[in-house]
Every structure is written in C-alpha cells, then in structure tokens.
Amino acid sequence: MKKSSGVHFENIAHAAYLIDQEFDYDNNFSIGIEKDIRNQYGDAFYAAFSECFSNCWYEILGEAIMGFDFAEVFSMAVRHAAKTASVDLTDTGDWDGEEMEG
C-alpha cells in the first residue's frame, strides 16, 4: 500500500471516511477576472454581484445535492482509484457514513 504525508487507509470504507473529513463542502466560487471587474466597475459593483450570485449559487447547489449519498460516492471513487492505480486496499464494502476512528 502506498503512503504519503502520514495518511494511512485501512480499507475502502476508511479511505472514503478520511477523504470526506477533509472535503471542502464550502463549494466556494471564484472569478478569475475579479480584480479587473473591481478596477473597471468598483468594489461596490463586485460586492453586489458576488452577494447576489452566491445566494443563487448556494441555493442551486443545495437543491442539487439533497439526498446525494456522499458516503457511497466517496467509496466508489476510492474503489476506482485503488483499482486504476493498483493500490491494494481491502474492500469491506462502502463506508456507511458513520464516524470512524482516524
């Protein structure tokens, strides 16, 4: 089994759990031309746009992920990565979404 940075996966479910713990659920957005927009149209314009857009964006994201089984998808992705990269991880089934010890 490959290790890096002190991360050790016991099995597929444990790997899914640890990755979930470090996943960025903030789903932040950024605009590559923010500085240009601020320079051309001012901070007030950008702040108003950003507030309006982010409110809509997070509402859309919230609706899209309701009922989404993160545990199942993390497990599936870990299983795929292990197979693709020839990393030997025991497959004890999908992570059930419950707390595990680190």
Sequence-distant contacts of 25-29: CB under 8 A, at least 24 apart: 27/58, 27/61, 29/53, 29/54, 29/57
How far, rounded to the nearest angstrom, does the alpha carbon of residue 80 sit from its chain's CA centroid?
17
Which tokens in the block code for residue 62? 């919230």
Angle between helices 34-41 and 43-65 (to 10 degrees): 140
Task: Give the total number of structural domains in the chain.
Answer: 1
What is the residue whose two structure tokens read 């197979």? 83
Which domain range does residue 27 map to?
12-84
For 43-98, write each residue's pLDDT tens digit.
999 999 999 998 898 888 888 888 888 889 999 999 999 999 999 999 998 998 88
In a domain, 89, yes or no: no
Give pTM, 2 decimals.
0.62
In a domain, 7, yes or no: no
